Amino acid sequence: GVPIDTIKVIHRGADTERFNPKNVSAERVIALATNWRLPDGKSVIMLPGRLTRWKGQTVFIDAIAKLKREDIIALIVGSDQGRTDYRNELERMVSDRGLGEIVRFINHCNDMPAAYKLTDVVVSASIAPEAFGRVVVEAQAVGRPVVATKHGGSTETVLDGETGWLVPPKDPSALANMIENALNISSNERTLLAERAIKHIQDNFSKSRMCEQTLEVYDKVLSQISG
């Protein structure tokens, strides 16, 4: 029953300084790649997020299997937070699909800006809508191609076909096809996409913008009260 013109939407903000690719040194990226023992010459696909079913790790694993590529490494980055049964289920999926040399589990990462920077494609495969979806925003801020499910926050934070791509949720085939597309874009297309993505996040989803918009609302309310 609240009039729509009295509602102000303020999006969550990302730390665009921390997730600025210019502020992530090559040494940090190399250190992380060495620590994770990533082989040279392989494309890296990453799904960050705690291990919980609604984040879509099972869909991601099925999509990686459908790619039928041996020139990739797929990283599932995130703690199980005690969900050992689910982690065991995921590990069985990887084994059953013969992906033991391709899919790797990374329990925790203290340097996500470097993790994004070493990645060729970042995936958000959530099967339920994300309220905001921090992963796809941070990845775009670093200039990385993103593939996300088309519901929830990602429909507002990803410019489909310009800064990343959206696919139907719970659809491993669609996810696989779009990951393949993201891997196959030219270096020039990748550069242009990165420029668009970085500008998009800096202009619309920075922490400073979030704070400014919040203070503007406070000022407006206070002026109405005092007036």
**Rounded-to-integer distance, Cα 3 and Cα 16, Å:** 33
**pTM reported for the whole predicted model:** 0.92
Mean pLDDT by groups of 10 residues along the chain of 227 residues: 90 95 97 95 96 96 97 96 94 97 94 97 96 95 98 96 97 98 96 97 96 95 85
What are the tokens at 220? 């407006």
**So what's the pLDDT on residue 75?**
98
Element housing 76 (H / E): strand 72-77
**So what's the pLDDT on residue 6?**
86
**So what's the pLDDT on residue 226?**
79
Sheet holding 103-106, edge to edge: 103-106, 72-77, 43-48, 121-124, 146-149, 164-167
Element housing 121 (H / E): strand 121-124
Q: What is the DSSP letter of 19?
A: T
Question: Residue 114's closest CA among 44, 27, 196?
Answer: 27
**So what's the pLDDT on residue 179?**
98
